[in-house]
């Protein structure tokens, strides 16, 4: 991976990376609102961001962030209803969105209850409706992403790269990952790689090999989908706890 374009920060544990993520989110949000009047934020699913989300639900973040100017999206969703425990948007709602003054009209969830291809088309249209002068979809100010121990991120899973992934903003996929719902809808690298900022949150020793592959290569986009995330003109920060960072080696960030 090009060393110029990313930064790796290793902190002791999940609490520490979550605190650092909340602080960075705050800086990026305030900067976006002061420059452009709006903050476009993309959330991830999975268990890792729950600690961050709970921090956002309480002061200082619940009161100091520019919530009324924040537009909230998801990088991926499972094909389940909003009230399912497996719903990424349901999780974010329960853990912080219900507690902060973000207008409900600013919350743009993926319709997990719809047939996945329809949900993908619907979300693609929604993203296009938010396009600004810079392109055909919003240039997100900040995208949070997680990392699976198989190297997936969002719902971009190992295997051949479909044509749809190269020319659609959002697509439906099926994936076998633990006991999680196999049917999903995901933003593609086309949408993700135009972000101004991407923050990966990575915690736990079972992520160590995937993290090492993401940071140190060799490049194998089919085996390690996380390597497909390379923002064209944005900044990537990896917030990693010590358990996850154990295999990546000091060389990965010695010169950063
Ligand atoms: C999802 C995701 C997914 C997630 C990783 C890591 O919907 O599951 O957005 O990409 O971030 O699977 O999940 P954990 O944080 O639970 O390890």
User: At residue 90, does pLDDT exceed 60?
Assistant: yes
**What average pLDDT does the chain have?**
93
| Residue nearest to ligand 1 atom 9, measured at CA | 45
Which is nearest to 42 in space by CA: 140, 136, 110, 188? Answer: 140
Burial level of 100, CB count in 10 A (0-12/13-18/19+)? Answer: middle
| Lowest mean per-residue pLDDT among 26-30, 36-40, 49-53, 180-184 | 180-184
Mutate to test the pocket of ligand 1, among 18, 43, 46, 210 (most ligand atoms within 8 A of CB): 46
Query: Is the distance from CB of 5 to CB of 196 less than 8 angstroms?
Result: no
Residue with tokens 């993926």: 110
Q: Please tell me the pTM assigned to this model.
A: 0.94
**Ligand 1 contacts CB of residue 47 (under 6 A):** yes
75 CA: nearest ligand 1 atom: 9
Mean pLDDT of 23-32: 98
Mean pLDDT of 66-72: 98
Write phi, then psi, for 173 (nearest 5 degrees): -140, 160
- Distance, in Å, from the CA atom of 117 to the CA atom of 136, rounded to the nearest integer, reads 20
pLDDT score at 247:
67
pLDDT score at 251:
47
pLDDT score at 256:
39
Q: What is the per-residue pLDDT across 154-185, written as a single tens digit (0 to 9) for each?
A: 999 999 999 999 999 999 999 888 888 889 99
**Ligand 1 contacts CB of residue 206 (under 6 A):** no
88 CA: nearest ligand 1 atom: 7
pLDDT score at 135:
75
For the chain, percent of residues with pLDDT exceeding 90? 86
User: At residue 255, does pLDDT exceed 50?
Assistant: no
pLDDT score at 105:
97
User: At residue 4, does pLDDT exceed 70?
Assistant: no
User: At residue 13, does pLDDT exceed 90?
Assistant: yes
- Distance, in Å, from the CA atom of 184 to the CA atom of 120, rounded to the nearest integer, reads 9
Mean pLDDT of 25-49: 97
**Ligand 1 contacts CB of residue 212 (under 6 A):** no
**Ligand 1 contacts CB of residue 112 (under 6 A):** no
Q: How far is the CA of 104 from the centre of ligand 1 (A)?
A: 24
| Lowest mean per-residue pLDDT among 79-83, 173-177, 183-187, 196-200 | 173-177
Q: What is the per-residue pLDDT across 205-223, written as a single tens digit (0 to 9) for each?
A: 999 999 999 999 899 999 9
**Ligand 1 contacts CB of residue 44 (under 6 A):** yes
**Ligand 1 contacts CB of residue 245 (under 6 A):** no
Q: How far is the CA of 140 from the centre of ligand 1 (A)?
A: 20
SS (H, E, C) the chain: CCHHHEEEEEECCHHHHHHHHHHHHHHHHHHHHHHHCCEEEEECCCCCCHHHHHHHCCCCHHHHCCHHHEEEEECEEECCCCCCCCCHHHHHHHHCHHHCCCCHHHECCCCCCCCHHHHHHHHHHHHHHCCCCCCCCCCCCEEEECCCCCCCECCECCCCCCHHHHHCCEEEEECCCCCCCCEEEEECHHHHCCCCEEEEEECCHHHHHHHHHHHHCCCCCCCCHHHHCCCCCCEEEEEEEHHHHCCCCHHHCCCC
**Ligand 1 contacts CB of residue 146 (under 6 A):** yes
Q: What is the per-residue pLDDT across 109-119, written as a single tens digit (0 to 9) for each?
A: 999 999 999 99
| Residue nearest to ligand 1 atom 8, measured at CA | 46
Could you count the other beta carbons within 10 Å of the beta carbon of residue 167?
A: 10
Distance, first Cα to last Cα, the chain: 13
Which two structure tokens, joined as six digits, stand for 241?
């706890």
pLDDT score at 5:
73
pLDDT score at 36:
95
Mutate to test the pocket of ligand 1, among 43, 45, 50 (most ligand atoms within 8 A of CB): 45
């Amino acid at each position: 991976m090009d060393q110029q374009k990313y930064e790796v920060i290793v902190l002791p544990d999940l609490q520490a990376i979550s605190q650092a993520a909340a602080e960075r989110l705050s800086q990026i949000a305030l900067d976006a609102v002061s420059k452009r009047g709006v903050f476009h934020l993309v959330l991830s699913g999975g268990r890792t961001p729950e600690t961050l989300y709970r921090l956002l639900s309480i002061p200082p973040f619940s009161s100091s962030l520019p919530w009324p100017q924040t537009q909230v999206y998801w990088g991926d969703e499972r094909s389940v209803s909003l009230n399912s425990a497996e719903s990424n948007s349901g999780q974010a709602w329960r853990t912080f969105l219900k507690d902060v003054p973000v207008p409900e009209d600013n919350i743009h969830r993926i319709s997990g209850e719809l047939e996945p291809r329809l949900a993908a088309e619907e979300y693609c249209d929604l993203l296009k409706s938010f396009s600004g002068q810079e392109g055909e979809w919003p240039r997100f100010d900040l995208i949070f992403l997680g990392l699976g121990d198989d190297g997936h991120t969002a719902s971009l899973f190992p295997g051949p790269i479909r044509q749809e992934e190269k020319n659609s903003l959002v697509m439906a996929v099926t994936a076998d990952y633990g006991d999680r719902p196999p049917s999903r809808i995901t933003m593609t690298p086309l949408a993700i790689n135009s972000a101004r900022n991407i923050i990966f949150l990575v915690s736990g020793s079972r992520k160590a090999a995937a993290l090492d592959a993401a940071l140190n290569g060799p490049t194998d986009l089919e085996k390690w989908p996380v390597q497909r995330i390379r923002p064209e003109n944005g900044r990537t920060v990896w917030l990693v706890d010590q358990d996850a960072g154990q295999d990546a080696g000091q060389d990965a960030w010695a010169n950063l």
